[in-house]
Structure 1
Amino acid sequence: MKKIGLYFGTFNPIHIGHMVIANHMVEFSDLDEVWFVVTPQSPFKTKKTLLADNHRYQMVYEATKDYPKLKPSNIEFGLPQPNYTIHTLVHLNEKYGSDHAFCLIMGEDNLKGFHKWKNYEVILSDYDVYVYPRISEGEIEHRFKGHPKIHKVDAPIMEISSTFIRKSHKEGKNIRPLLTDSVWKYMDEMNFYR
């Protein structure tokens, strides 16, 4: 059975920080693959700043195509919106559950708000959660500290954000080193975020 880490995000755009974290997770934990699940619309974000779903998926495809253990996923595109992680997990288990075990990948900052997620108790009872460090304020809830389903992975701290990339690109700054070559090429050709 393959152990798949699900890395959810809008990836608007995907950048080297995402790639470093995903690669670290797949190389330095017991995960066999990491799937970048491109979210059409997060319940916590407005859609006005997002590129079209197919363009964000294409950039994830471009970034991961040379890494066999990293895969793009558009599984949420066909689910009702706004979608919640629990619905995606149920859908993936119905589709692939016989030979895949799914886990969540999230930043430490997301773990701090995890108790606000829809059906978070069900997620924690049925799925492992792999957490990478982030520099953020506040404490992790006591109920999540030392939880047997929550695994901290000592991944590099990546303080690069898609928001910073979009803003800087619009201001004419050179953000090319923050993206894979293929993502930069696609973004530049499509004239995104200018």
Structure 2
Amino acid sequence: MRATGLFGGTFDPVHVGHIELARHALEYCRLAEVVFIPAASPPHKSRKHLTAFHHRVAMLTLATEGESRFSVCEVEKDLPPPTYTVDTLNHLLQKNTCATEYYFIIGIDAFLDIHTWKEYEKVIGQVHFIVAARPGYTVSDLQECIASLHYQKKVDHWYNASSKRKIYYLELELADVSSTDIRKTAGSSTLPKDAIAPAVFKYIKDHNLYSSGR
């Protein structure tokens, strides 16, 4: 069974923290690959405040160049807005022609809101989860949420006997950088170049992205 990580997000822009997390997830769960899925029309964000989809895809492509087990999937571009996780997964599962198990990579802050997701019970029945640590959140916060989803603690993961799905927790320290900070500083000399790949930095400058400090 091929293990494929799915890493969704706006990636506006993609930064070193995203890449570090994907690498850790790849190794920790012995994934065959990680597929980055840029959001086209996320329900929790206004489209007018998002950088154009093609720019975000281009930056992701540049950031993952040279990583043979990383790829970028534009599946949400053709899905009707807003694009919910359950709809994206349904589309991927329908197109899946090989024996693949999906592992959804997500930060603990986003995972703790899973009860608010559209058809969240269907989502947790379709994929395993790799939940990454975030400052300000603890394993105790995660355990309470997981218990409400009827998972039981095993040695290195939680397991749902009904769906046969697992939840892994990645306790790691990522680079202290955020897409929001990059957007705010991109138009000035204070943009931390080590926060993003050089090719992405050049792309931002060449296309005058975030010049308003959005």
User: Which category of TM-score, normalised to the shorter sequence, fits these structures?
Assistant: over 0.9
Distance verdict in 2 for CA 1:98–1:164, change over 3 Å = same
Is the contact made by 2:63 and 2:200 (CA closer than 8 Å) also made in structure 1?
yes
Summarize the alignment of residues 159-178 of structure 1 with structure 2, pairs less than 5 Å apart: 159-178=176-195
Is the contact made by 1:89 and 1:102 (CA closer than 8 Å) also made in structure 2?
no
Where structure 2 has 5 or more consecutive residues not aligned to the other structure, the ranges are 148-152, 160-165
Is the contact made by 1:32 and 1:69 (CA closer than 8 Å) also made in structure 2?
yes
Is the aligned partner of 1:155 residue 2:157?
A: no
Following TM superposition, where does structure 1 have runs of at least 4 consecutive aligned residues deviating by more than 4 angstroms? none
User: Alignment length, in residue pairs?
Assistant: 194
What secondary structure, in the 3-state scheme, does the structure 2 residue paired with 1:135 have?
Answer: coil
What secondary structure, in the 3-state scheme, does the structure 2 residue paired with 1:170 have?
Answer: coil
Q: 1 CA distance for matches of 2:18 and 2:201?
A: 14
Amino acid paired to 1:191: N
In the alignment, which residue of structure 2 is the partner of 1:52?
52
Summarize the alignment of residues 8-23 of structure 1 with structure 2, pairs less than 5 Å apart: 8-23=8-23
Is the contact made by 1:134 and 1:158 (CA closer than 8 Å) also made in structure 2?
no
Counterpart selection for 1:185 from 202, 206, 209: 202
In the alignment, which residue of structure 2 is the partner of 1:4?
4
CA offset digits 1:160-187 (Å, max 9, x no partner): 1101100022344132111111111111
Pairwise CA distance, 1:69: 1.0
TM-score by length of 1: 0.92
| Structural RMSD (CA) | 1.7
Distance verdict in 2 for CA 1:117–1:141, change over 3 Å = farther
In the alignment, which residue of structure 1 is the partner of 2:73?
73
Amino acid paired to 1:167: K
Q: 1 CA distance for matches of 2:3 and 2:58?
A: 24
Q: Which moved more, 1:58-67 or 1:171-180?
A: 171-180
Pairwise CA distance, 1:192: 0.8
In the alignment, which residue of structure 1 is the partner of 2:142?
140
Amino acid paired to 2:110: N
Distance verdict in 2 for CA 1:119–1:159, change over 3 Å = farther
Distance verdict in 2 for CA 1:182–1:94, change over 3 Å = same
Q: Identity rate of aligned residues, in percent?
A: 31
Q: 2 CA distance for matches of 1:131 and 1:9?
A: 14
Q: Which structure has the greater CA radius of gyration?
A: 2
